[in-house]
Structure 1
């Protein structure tokens, strides 16, 4: 990623009015990622158990 500097040496983000400075929250990112993986895996386990309990005969009749 390259940064284009203005004539005054600034990177251009600080001279735009009404644009707040921002930072990336890594802690929140990993909490959300872990939560998503946990919920996804729980759903997959539930569906896996549900599919295993269906008999082949019942599937073929549909």
Structure 2
């Protein structure tokens, strides 16, 4: 376990998390309409894929 902690790059991990968050935010905003309702739930699919990718 101690070897793993020394072998990952925190900047790369942070960048991956931020890019994933921005992607989810962009998909969410594209599904949002002007009257305040969501047309689709595509952002939930993206969240599932991001979680699967981190595992």
The higher relative CO (CA closer than 8 Å, separation ≥ 6) is in 2
Greater C-alpha Rg: 1
- Scaled by the length of structure 1, the TM-score of the pair is 0.43
More helix by share: 2
- Scaled by the length of structure 2, the TM-score of the pair is 0.48
